Amino acid sequence: MKFIQLFVLACLFWATTASFAFSQTVSTNQTTENLKTTTVKVKGITCATDLKTIATNVEKVKGVNSCKPLKQGATSTFEVKYNPALVSEKEIFNVIENTGGCENPTEKPYKIKQ
């Protein structure tokens, strides 16, 4: 009898944790058909940490699929894939220009080169 009770208890525990795990699944509705790709040139980047910080901040924006640094230099280049129905280029540019610098986070050293 105890075996049956333990078996039922184990099954209930498994069912509870399995349904919790399935409820954590996140789905995104952005398809590659809706995405636009743009290349953004940014001045003021002085180190590799700047590249990562900018890419991370841009990727947090709703509608941005990815932001990848392509080139580091006096003018660095990023490839940004985004859904123009959810976010505009201007909003992406504002996020970049409002990102704090790695040496002094209160400074906003990055400027878009057009």
Is residue 24, in this structure, part of any structural domain at all? Answer: no
Domain assignment present for residue 20? The answer is no
Domain assignment of residue 45, yes or no: yes
Instruction: Give residue-wise pLDDT tens across range 66-92.
Output: 999 999 988 999 999 999 999 999 999
User: Does residue 59 sit within a domain?
Assistant: yes
CB 60 within 8 A of CB 74: no
- Considering the domain boundaries, does residue 57 fall inside one? yes
Question: Which residues pair with residue 76 across a beta bridge?
Answer: 42
On whether the CB atoms of residues 31 and 99 are closer than 8 A, the answer is no
d(CA 101, CA 72): 15
Q: Which amino acid would we find at residue 51?
A: L
Residue 70 belongs to a domain with what CATH number? 3.30.70.100
Number of domains in the chain: 1
| Higher local confidence (pLDDT), 4 or 58 | 58
Would 14 be classed as within a structural domain? no
Asked whether the whole model's pTM tops 0.75, one would answer: no
96 falls within a domain: yes
Whether 50 maps to a domain, the answer reads yes
Strands 64-71 and 36-43: unpaired
Q: What is the pLDDT of residues 39-68, one digit of tens each?
A: 999 999 988 899 999 999 999 999 999 999
pLDDT tens-place string over residues 6-19: 666 666 556 655 55
